[in-house]
Structure 1
Amino acid sequence: MRPTLAPFPMTRLRRTRRTAALRALTCETALGVGDLIWPIFVRDGTGVEEPIPSMPGVVRRSVDLVVRVAEEAAELGIPAICLFPYTDPALKSELCEEAWNPGNLSNRTIRAIKAAVPEIAVMTDVALDPYNSNGHDGIVRDGVIVNDETIE
């Protein structure tokens, strides 16, 4: 069987280019500064910036320095940041109690950022591994993560 050749052009794209709205809907992806989320690694302390050995070029910052980074992000037009807390090992437990402490590092950092840069969106890592003494993302019973108990 032989395919039938249609006269060129087979498809006319004029209707998808007719208006600015249609062009925007059908254009290639355009990534801009407004699409970015700045990841920030936070730790306790004041005036502290320490390298993360497993991630060359990346640092953990104390809350006061994280606020400065949030201000810089807003000045650059970056609309959001995402916090990744480093919890003091002394605060970690098998039941991850520090995760729901209103005064934990994540909550203190969010309050400080919102006081200084209210317009920036703040996301957090909701995983439990920063608070779990055994490093898992959930509560562990008899070597198994118990999902139902974890989400309560």
Structure 2
Amino acid sequence: MLSRPRRNRQSAAIRAQIRETELTPGHLVQPIFLMPEPNARLPIVSLPGTFRLGIEEVVREVGECRKLGIYSFIMFPAVPEEHKDKTGTYATSEENFYLHAATRLKTEYPDICLISDVALDPYSTDGHDGLVVNGKIDNDQTLPLVDAMAVAQARAGFDVIGPSEMMDGRIESIRRALDKEGFTDTSIMSYCAKYASAFYGPFRDALDSAPRQLEDVPTDKKTYQMDPANRKEALREAALDAAEGADYLMVKPAINYLDIIRELTNEHHLPIAAYHVSGECAMLLAAAERGWLDYQTAASEALLSIRRAGASVIISYFAKDFATWYGQ
């Protein structure tokens, strides 16, 4: 037998020499759930180890992550019910705690990359990512609202704008709005392949952003998020968003869509981001709590698989823990 692949697996030193995929804390993005109360720290029951935080706790958390080598963060607002309305007007309000928090973080830590979320659902009484008109999510009436939201976020200090609402034409519309206001250096991370997944539950618990049970309003997001059965559609969405000016292309969720990450990596020269979503993480955590899996080993393998599929950027609730283990 002339060829024995096992020869290159005989020691840690040899395995390190030929390792094809590297994952470091620099590839990871830590999600943040922000609350208006400055010192809040409330656990998310359906996602153990993750918290809703006030800005003072966020400042401390970001400082700890930086020491571990994580410099990228994506932040989501847990908006109180009294600030929600049909058109999400609080998203651009000068009183919006989310915008104030972004300014504070970029003042405290100018070297971090801060990514926003652009969608109506945190601010809407309907719980949908787009504007509901006559029982339907109206694509074109949503665009001016997300344009204004993106500009307000760029003005607050966000480095990367993250349109997640899956409206057609949003990337071009937001790019024009940002450029018109002088934010030509602000990047756009497009959720180009965001699937109508069953794995978003803990995230929606954290933000109370699930579609509401209202008369004549859809109770799911299947009319704008993608069908999990479709692959070619993801290629089309990515091509459209790239042509419209996206700076990153995102696949969400990640683990169940590794084939889509690989397809986009092969097709595009833009960085590919992957969102390792709350349900994917919660599932692994639940198994680890029962002793069925080793948390560190399984979480590290999950993140490595996303990186191996081609993701340049990985958003994950395991980011901080992985950075703690890294290099041990």
TM-score interval, smaller chain: 0.7 to 0.9
Q: 1:88 aligns with which of 80, 99, 109?
A: 80
What are the Cα deviations for residues 112-148 of structure 1, in whole angstroms up to 9, with x where unaligned?
1111111000011212100001100011001101111
What are the Cα deviations for residues 78-123 of structure 1, in whole angstroms up to 9, with x where unaligned?
1201101100110000011011223312211111111111100001
Q: 1:69 aligns with which of 57, 61, 74?
A: 61
Q: 1:148 aligns with which of 140, 146, 164?
A: 140
Q: 2:32 aligns with which of 37, 40, 44?
A: 40
* Structure showing greater Rg: 1
Task: Report how far residue 55 of structure 1 moved.
Answer: 2.2
Amino acid in the other structure paired with 2:92: W
Task: Report how far residue 27 of structure 1 moved.
Answer: 6.5
Tell me the equivalent position of 1:102.
94
Gaps of 5+ in 2: 4-17, 145-328
Amino acid in the other structure paired with 1:128: L
Provide the TM-score with structure 1 as the length reference.
0.78
Q: Residues 87 and 131 of structure 1 are in contact (CA less than 8 Å); yes or no, is this contact kept in structure 2?
A: yes
Give the ranges of 4+ consecutive aligned residues of structure 1 lying more than 3 Å apart after TM superposition.
none
Gaps of 5+ in 1: 1-7, 10-25
Amino acid in the other structure paired with 2:94: P
Match status 1:137 vs 2:137:
no
What are the Cα deviations for residues 16-59 of structure 1, in whole angstroms up to 9, with x where unaligned?
xxxxxxxxxx9722110110101111101122101123323221
| Structure 2 CA distance for aligned equivalents of residues 32 and 108 of structure 1 | 30
Q: Residues 74 and 117 of structure 1 are in contact (CA less than 8 Å); yes or no, is this contact kept in structure 2?
A: no
| Distance of aligned partners of 1:27 and 1:57 in 2 relative to their CA distance in 1, 3 Å threshold | closer
Q: Residues 96 and 128 of structure 1 are in contact (CA less than 8 Å); yes or no, is this contact kept in structure 2?
A: yes
Alignment of 1:52-67 (within 5 A): 52-67=44-59
Identity of aligned residues (%): 36
Q: Residues 106 and 124 of structure 1 are in contact (CA less than 8 Å); yes or no, is this contact kept in structure 2?
A: no
Provide the TM-score with structure 2 as the length reference.
0.38
Task: Report how far residue 70 of structure 1 moved.
Answer: 1.3
| Structure 2 CA distance for aligned equivalents of residues 143 and 97 of structure 1 | 20
Aligned-pair Cα RMSD in Å: 1.7
Q: Residues 87 and 120 of structure 2 are in contact (CA less than 8 Å); yes or no, is this contact kept in structure 1?
A: no
Tell me the equivalent position of 1:119.
111
| Structure 2 CA distance for aligned equivalents of residues 69 and 112 of structure 1 | 13
Match status 1:30 vs 2:22:
yes
Tell me the equivalent position of 1:19.
none
Amino acid in the other structure paired with 2:138: V
